[in-house]
Amino acid sequence: MIQTDDQMLLAQNGIANLRRILLEARKVQSRQDYTRMAEPILLEIQQREQEILGFFSRQLEQPIAS
């Protein structure tokens, strides 16, 4: 679970890295190999994006520090 801004930024960077991997793999993998290889990566991206959304949603529930 993401609890700090730094953790959120790390999660975003991780997503960007995974997307770069997928972009490069599309160039060199057959369609079948890409599909097999991409599935767990796409699930990881989805999970991290959900964690980021959860982080921002929790922030809506808490008062903003002044």
Looking at residue 61, its pLDDT comes to 73
Looking at residue 63, its pLDDT comes to 65
Each of the 66 residues of the chain gets a pLDDT tens digit; together they read 899 999 999 999 999 999 999 999 999 999 999 999 999 999 999 999 999 999 999 867 766 665
DSSP-assigned states of every residue in 10-28: HHHHHHHHHHHHHHHHHHH
Per-domain boundaries in the chain: 5-52
